[in-house]
Structure 1
Amino acid sequence: MDFATGWAHILGMDRDYDVIIAGGGLNGPALALALAQGGLRVLVVDARPASARASEGFDGRAYALALASQRLLSALGVWPAVAALAQPILGIRTSDGVPPEGAAPFLLGFDHGELDEGAMGFMVEDRHLYAAFLAVLEAAPGVTLRSGDSVVGQRVDGAQVTVALASGQVLRAALLVGCDGRTSGVAQRAGIRRHGWGYGQTALVGAIRPEHPHQGLAHQVFLPEGPLAILPLRGGLASIVWSESEANARTIAAMGDEEYRVLLESRIGHLTGHLDLAGPRFSYPLTLTLADRYAAPRIALVGDAAHGVHPIAGQGLNLGLRDVAALAEVLAEARARGEDIGAVDVLERYQLWRRFDSTVLALGMDAVNRLFSNTNPFLRAVRGLGMRAVAAMPGPRRSFIREAAGLSGTLPKLLSGQRL
């Protein structure tokens, strides 16, 4: 190796990209756009063909975006493409329920008028959000999207990480980011262990057309077998995330549409009136899984690759976007200072920023699920008193609302709507 070649290697000039992102769901594209704002060259490797998700029809799958997440999408240039398709969340209602009576009158409610910033969040269908990301990615300078391929190998070699793709191509970068889900191959190959447990619950997911207009309200009904969320969508529809014990869920999932509809209606009670099913039905097991570390030499984890949480508060994507905003800001600042963005001390800043916050939130949702998913009369009385107490105290109410909107804590620039 001659002098010029040696210095090019040390400075990273012979790398194919600054950052390679494994996973093209939603966190991966969001991170790519954020890093491109910071002047980095980024490759997103998405195992699915680009057209597979962008062309899908209505299926009811949707995300509850906190207000801070909406601001991030706006700063990335994605929000204009979905704003007209998003349903503002104007209030949250929580209540207990016991089958077959359905939901009791709500015990705790929050309204967007209690938040100075406006809507508490937005419901956006998965198909619309992915299509918007895809359109912005294709036009973004500094970002390359490789669809229908996947990362199958990685090796850290001092000043770079060498990445092998399923297509046979080998690429080099300063950093590899795992946005590849709860079974992250990036994390496994980096020797990052995971801890967690199953809830003995399965989520039944779909969409309904309720008789009563939803008025932008999100409902959370705490049933003995698990929580049931009714989330407002555009066009008078609502998304359902119905957690049941694994045994019950298997029986329910095997029902025909009419039997399923009648049972669901009995669980919801008066909240929707008569309901019709809209779109297909899905189910998936519920688990908690937390990575021991969010970073290793030239490796970082984002979203479900770092923390897979219970959907009780709809915070999965929001947690991932907080990771995106923090990692992008750390890397952009490191680059501006002339630091090596894949260095351990740089990545440690990201881990310190995000790991405690996401772990506390994940364990908090775990505790709420355990507290409410039972028929113990003492616990039912305690949680009823607790919710009524919060309802009567302005301070805790405001704290809850701001936490739900993603506005608490030290926010990265993107979550405040600022570009990097």
Structure 2
Amino acid sequence: ERPHNGRAEEHFLPAGPFATLPLKSDKDGTNRSSIVWVERSEDAEKLVDSDDLVFEHELEQRFGLKLGEIRVADRPRAWPLGLTIARDFVAPRIALAGDAAHGIHPIAGQGLNLGFKDVAALAEVVVEADRLGQDVGALDVLERYQQWRRFDTLQMGITTDVLNRLFSNDIGPLRAVRDIGLGLVERMPRLKDFFIRQASGLSGDTPKLLKGEAI
């Protein structure tokens, strides 16, 4: 009902993350957001099979009405979640990137960031090989891309899995450690900046395109 002003929100609930991601308004000015909503399998199946009234009620329970009334624009769909990483990212004349190469838990858009880094790294490897007169589809060229991206992908996959397990539960001691940790990060600007860079996908050996540099 009211505009989101480009703001994304993510809440860590016992079943998993719940996030609203801002979209452009429709031509008629309707405010829109995309939803990433993690639930236990049996609950997810019931929600997907429910009518719009039940789904919207459950949605309001999690997001509230701070932006006014909510209406579901499309039928919800559900997919099982898990950490999957391809055994090989490359083969002769083939390179996997984004969700074709890896699937991670949907936390803070890190899967999207990994996809951007894959594409930028692959472009950089291909352009540099072409300048050297090499066959850009040769396995030894594409393996440079795989070596560049594989460790970062594995590291991020494990990190998102651990974060999901840490935040998406109601275990008292873990909640206490979690809250203390978040409080410390909020009070330490350098540490906070570090986590912001991590979440923005700008940590590690960042491809030139993601830094706004020409290849």
Give the TM-score of the pair, scaled to structure 2. Answer: 0.88
In terms of Rg, which structure is larger? 1
Of residues 126, 130, 140, the one that matches 1:331 is 126
Residue 180 of structure 2, aligned match among 385, 397, 411: 385
Q: Does 1:269 align with 2:64?
A: yes
In the alignment, what sits opposite 1:229?
Answer: 19
Equivalence for 1:412? 207
1:82-105 deviation per Cα after TM superposition (whole angstroms, max 9, x unaligned): xxxxxxxxxxxxxxxxxxxxxxxx
Tell me how far apart the structure 2 counterparts of residues 299 and 232 of structure 1 sit (CA, whole Å): 34
CA distance in 1, matches of 2:148, 2:36: 30
Task: Select 2:47's aligned residue among 220, 232, 252.
Answer: 252
Q: Residue 299 and residue 242 in structure 1: after superposition, are their counterparts in 2 closer, same or farther (change >3 A)? A: same
Aligned to 1:205: none
Partner SS state of residue 282, structure 1: coil
The one-character-per-residue Cα deviations of 1:342-379 (angstroms, maximum 9, x if unpaired) are: 33332221112111111111111111111122221111
Q: Note the 1:291-306 alignment, pairs <5 A.
A: 291-306=86-101
Tell me if structure 1 keeps the 8 A contact 2:110–2:201.
no
Contact 2:113–2:200 (Cα < 8 Å) also in 1: no
Say if 1:389 and 1:272 are closer, same or farther in 2 by CA, change over 3 A.
farther
SS of equivalent to 1:244? coil
- Rounded Cα–Cα distance in structure 2 between residues aligned with 1:376 and 1:212: 35
Following TM superposition, by how much is the alpha carbon of 1:273 offset from its aligned partner in structure 2, in angstroms?
A: 4.5
Pick the aligned partner of 2:77 from 258, 263, 282: 282
User: Does 2:5 align with 1:215?
Assistant: yes
> 2: distance between equivalents of 1:272 and 1:285?
29
Q: Which amino acid aligns with 1:410?
A: D
SS at 2:80 equivalent: strand
SS of corresponding position for 1:240: strand
2:75 and 2:69 mapped to 1: Cα distance?
A: 18
Structure 1 partner of 2:198? 403
Instruction: Give the 3-state SS of the residue equivalent to 1:293 in structure 2.
Output: coil
- TM-score, normalised by the number of residues in structure 1: 0.47
Indicate how the Cα distance of structure 1 residues 383 and 272 shifts in structure 2: closer, same or farther if over 3 A, else same: farther
Alignment RMSD: 1.9
State how far apart, in whole Å, the 1-side matches of 2:62 and 2:184 are. 26
Distance 2:179 2:128 in 1: 47
**Aligned residue pairs: how many?**
210
Cα distance change, pair 327–261 in 1 and its aligned pair in 2 (3 A): same
Write the mapping of 1:4-403 to structure 2, written as runs, cut at 5 A.
211-235=1-25, 236-269=31-64, 271-403=66-198
Residue segments in structure 1 that go unaligned for 5+ positions in a row? 1-210
Task: Give, in angstroms, the shift of residue 261 of structure 1.
Answer: 0.7
> CA, structure 1 residues 391+212, in 2 after alignment: closer, same or farther (shift >3 Å)?
farther
Q: 1:179-206 deviations in whole A, cap 9, x for unaligned?
A: xxxxxxxxxxxxxxxxxxxxxxxxxxxx
Tell me the secondary structure at the aligned position of residue 230 of structure 1: strand
Residues 213, 299 of structure 1: alpha-carbon distance in 2 compared, 3 angstrom cutoff: closer
CA shift at 1:247, angstroms? 0.6
Unaligned runs of 5+ in 2: 26-30
Contact between 2:21 and 2:33, CA under 8 Å: does it hold in 1? yes
C-alpha contact (below 8 Å) 2:8/2:19 kept by paired residues: yes
Equivalent pair of 2:17/2:107 in contact (CA under 8 Å): yes
Task: Give the structure, 1 or 2, with the largest relative contact order (CA under 8 Å, sep 6 or more).
Answer: 1
How far did 1:405 drift? 2.5
Cα deviation code 1:207-251 (max 9, x no counterpart): xxxx45423221111111111001222233222111000011111
Task: Sort the Cα spacing of 1:372 and 1:403 in 2 relative to 1 into closer, same or farther, 3 A.
Answer: same
Q: Structure 2 CA distance, aligned partners of 1:296 and 1:392?
A: 47
Structure 1 counterpart of 2:90, one-letter code: A
- Over 3 Å counting, the alpha-carbon distance change for 1:397 and 1:414 in structure 2 is same
- 8 Å Cα contact 2:15/2:168 also seen in 1: yes
Contact 2:114/2:201, CA 8 A, preserved across alignment: no
Question: Which amino acid in 2 is paired with 1:228?
Answer: F
1:82: which partner in 2? Answer: none
Aligned counterparts of 1:409 and 1:283: Cα–Cα separation in 2: 33
Q: Give the superposition deviation at 1:270.
A: 5.5
Paired residue for 1:139?
Answer: none
